[in-house]
Amino acid sequence: MRRSLYTVGTVLVMGAAAMAGPASAAETESQASLSVLHAVPDLTVDVYVNGALTLDDFTPGQLAGPLPLPAGNYQLAVTAADAPDASAPVIGPVDVTLEAGGNYTATANLDAAGNPTANFYTNDVSPVEAGKARLTVRHVAAAPAVDVLAGGAPIVPNLSNPGEASLSTAPGTVSAAVAAAGTTEPVIGPADLNLAEGTSTIVYAWGSLEGGNLALATQVIEGLQSTPGAVPGGQSGLAAQSADNDGAALGLGLGALLLGLLGGAVVVNRRRTARA
């Protein structure tokens, strides 16, 4: 039911957009969204997309985007910051496919052994249940498997580079830390993470254990909220509007009116019982 209501809404919105300009509606429909995270310590780079310089002097710990791109195939390459073009990449080139409506994050990072590499993640942008927040953790660090802790307790066990895990949780601030798998002594954090309701928070563990520069990077995708399924403002029926004096009932279909009369009859009967 909920889905069908939203579908109607979507169709209406699309209809409105089509009236405003058919080209823009079609364009939006075929767009994908790409973010790029730089998670290689101590290395300033340039990022090329399809051979064109797209991010200049991109520094570690920075997040670029989201970049709206037409769906399709792309080639990403990461070069030294002083490279004249994409011909001598230090990472890649990597061929990726962006699907229409998809939301992606490409990371330049270290693999578990400490070598520069790239990963391409598909971000979950499905609606978040009302009253919840989505948390995704990704291991893109030169480090063995880790446990992710919230308030000192493991919430994601045994996560290895380049793995990811996702969970739905109560919104609010959590004290997050990362420890070697099976331990609780933090190698990163603890740090406060604010998980806002209806958003997706993606946390990357990056850097190098050996280099002593492990850190967290955070990306937030907003606007994924759902609405409560109902507003239950009554408890007993004592404030019911009767069918007799409710003019609005006239506007309803015959079937609904009959239902209303039946409902009224039941109430009347019960009131008689109550009087008796």
How far apart (Å, rounded) are the C-alpha atoms in residues 54 and 97?
17
Binding mask 75-114 for another protein (x = CB under 8 A): x-x-------xxxxxxxxxxxx--------------x---
**Residue 37 within binding range of another protein, rule CB under 8 A:** yes
* Residues 54-73, interacting with another protein (CB under 8 A): 54-56, 58, 61-65, 67, 69-70, 72-73
User: With binding defined as CB under 8 A, does residue 184 bind another protein?
Assistant: no
d(Cα 208, Cα 210) in Å, to the nearest integer?
5
Burial 33-49 (b: 16+ CB within 10 A, else e): bbbbbbbbbebebbbbb
Please choose, out of 16-24, 53-61, 182-190, the segment that lies near another protein by the rule CB under 8 A: 53-61
Nearer to another protein, 202 or 209 (CB): 202
Residue 227 CA to residue 131 CA, distance in Å, equals: 8
- Alpha-carbon distance 117 to 218, whole Å? 19
State residue 23 phi and psi, 5-degree precision.
-65, -45
State which of residues 82, 185, 237, 254 lies at the interface with another protein (CB under 8 A). 237
Site for another protein in 150-169 (CB under 8 A): 150, 153, 155-160, 162-169
Task: Choose, by CB under 8 A, the member of 1, 23, 250, 254 that binds another protein.
Answer: 1
Spatial CB neighbours of 128, under 8 Å, sequence gap ≥ 6: 134, 168, 197, 198, 199, 200, 224, 225, 226
* Shortest distance in whole angstroms from residue 17 CB to another protein: 16
Tell the smallest beta-carbon distance from residue 159 to another protein (Å): 5
